[in-house]
Amino acid sequence: NNVGKTALLEAIFLLKSLNAYEIPFQLNFNRGVFQQQNFDVEEVCEWLFYNKQVSKAIKIKIVDENNEESELILSLNKALSPRLFPLSPRANSRKTIKDLKLEFKKTGQKLLEFTTFLTPDQEERKRMRIEIEIQQDEVQEAREIEVFPPSIFLSSYLRVSPTEDAEIFSQFEAINKQNEIIEILKIIEPRLKRLAVLVTGGAPMIHGDIGADYLIPVSLMGEGMGRLLSIILSIMNAQEGIVLIDEIENGIHHSIMEKVWQSIAVATRKSKTQLFATTHSYECIRAAHKAFSNSELYDFRYFRLEREKETNIIKVSIQLARCQLSATRLSHIG
């Protein structure tokens, strides 16, 4: 616990979501750190920085399989223009107002810099609106940000709303691909015949036909079916992208965890989506190892994070080959 598993997912999410420049603000909202009506960038973003050391920049760097480097730098810099709207009392007491600056470097490409700040929405003043200024080569210009593959982050703090799930499912139904979702869910619930979006209590919600007299809300089918549906929809909706799930075992009964991983394996391969997930559960790791060992392809990797002397985090990579480790041995290294 407390070794930075969530922070690692967030770092990957930040680096792979630059075309969605609201992500740095959204992360702290997902954590429950601030509310949407706060327009003080420093107060909103300070918990992104280690020990709230906002004078130091955040650097996230990766090297891909082609040995190409990508680096994202986040820093809080003095705002270039005054704010003509109310900030928080804390912000008004500061000598300077700060904006969030992001710098993205990639092998063979020019440096991309852009600054973001928060303003009240014109139609709903209590809601925030994110403004962006893009700069390149120190000359401000209008420029499209590189389109990154889709990325989705499922927080352990917030649950996907039934309405959002219904909207995503409707998109698959519109292109006649709803059966792909149903076939994957049948791994957990073989009785499932079809899914339908019904309006319940004024809001759309996905219901399932399992042979009963009435269609049943998926969230009432038990054993974490609602949670699994959200995961599968996210994976299928991130074609050729990435999905990051914090504490993947939450809301799922341990007795079906192996089948859950079987479902995830089918969904990720079908959509060519890469999944990153954290867990506190040894049972979850063992179930994943068993599920992938019994599939035609063992494309599962397990990494353990450890804190050394309360200052450094060491990544230990454990490459699990098919049937290489027994569940007993896995429990010792998990």
Per-residue model confidence as pLDDT tens digits over 190-216: 999 999 999 988 899 999 999 999 999
Could you tell me if residue 23 is left (phi over 0), alpha (psi between -120 and 50 degrees) or otherwise beta? Answer: alpha
Q: Are 58 and 73 in contact (CB under 8 A)?
A: yes
Helix (H) and strand (E) counts in the chain:
10, 14
Q: Which two tokens stand for residue 64?
A: 């891909």
Residue 149 amino acid letter:
P
Same domain, 120 and 248: no
pLDDT value for 284: 94
Give the model's pLDDT for residue 7: 86
Considering only CA atoms, give the Rg of the chain: 22
Residue showing tokens 């939450």? 250
Domain end point (choices 146, 165, 200): 146
Do residue 206 and residue 327 come from a single domain?
yes
Q: Compute the distance between CA of residue 180 and CA of residue 173 in angstroms, rounded to an integer.
A: 10
Q: Are residues 89 and 217 in the same domain?
A: no
Among candidates 317, 252, 316, which has minimal Cα distance to 287? 252
Concatenating the DSSP letter of every residue in 14-51 gives HHT-TTSTTHHHHHHHHHTSS-TT---HHHHHGGGSGG
**Do 224 and 278 fall within a single domain?**
yes
Cross-strand partners of 312 = 308
Quote the pLDDT of residue 307: 74
170 in a domain, yes or no?
Answer: yes
Residue type, 93: S
Q: What is the pLDDT of residue 326?
A: 47
Q: Which letter does DSSP use for residue 254 in this model?
A: G
Q: 169: domain range?
A: 152-333
Model pLDDT, residue 317: 62
Q: Give the integer Cα–Cα distance in Å for 297 and 146.
A: 33
DSSP states of 269-320 as a string? HHHT-EEEE--S-HHHHHHHHHHHHTSS-----EEEEEEETTTEEEEEEE--
Which CATH number fits the domain that encloses residue 194? 3.40.50.300
Structural domain total, the chain: 2
166's tokens:
């219904």
Looking at the fold, whether 166 and 189 belong to one and the same domain comes out as yes
Q: Which of 315, 302, 310, 208 is nearest to 248 (CA)?
A: 302
Q: Do 30 and 165 have their domain in common?
A: no
Give the residues of the chain that fall short of pLDDT 50: 125, 140, 143, 323, 326-334
Q: Do both 39 and 114 map to the same domain?
A: yes
> What's this model's pTM, rounded to 2 decimal places?
0.81
pLDDT given at position 183 = 96
Q: What is the pLDDT of residue 108?
A: 78
DSSP class of 120: E
Compute the C-alpha angle 182/189/195, nearest 5°. 35
Determine contact, residues 15/279, Cβ cutoff 8 Å. no
13-43, pLDDT tens digit by residue? 988 877 666 777 778 777 766 655 556 777 7
Residue 111 pLDDT: 81
Cα 235 to Cα 93, 251, 329, distances in angstroms: 45, 18, 30
Inside any domain, residue 37: yes
Inside any domain, residue 10: no
Q: Which residues lie below 8 Å from residue 280, measured CB to CB, with a gap of 6+?
A: 1, 247, 249
Domain boundary residue, one of 86, 117, 146: 146
pLDDT of residue 323: 45
Residue 303's pLDDT is: 85
Write down which residue in 146, 171, 206 finishes a domain. 146
Please indicate, yes or no, whether residues 97 and 227 belong to a single structural domain of this protein.
Answer: no
For the chain, the distance separating the N- and C-terminal CA atoms, rounded to the nearest angstrom, is 12
Q: Do 156 and 137 have their domain in common?
A: no
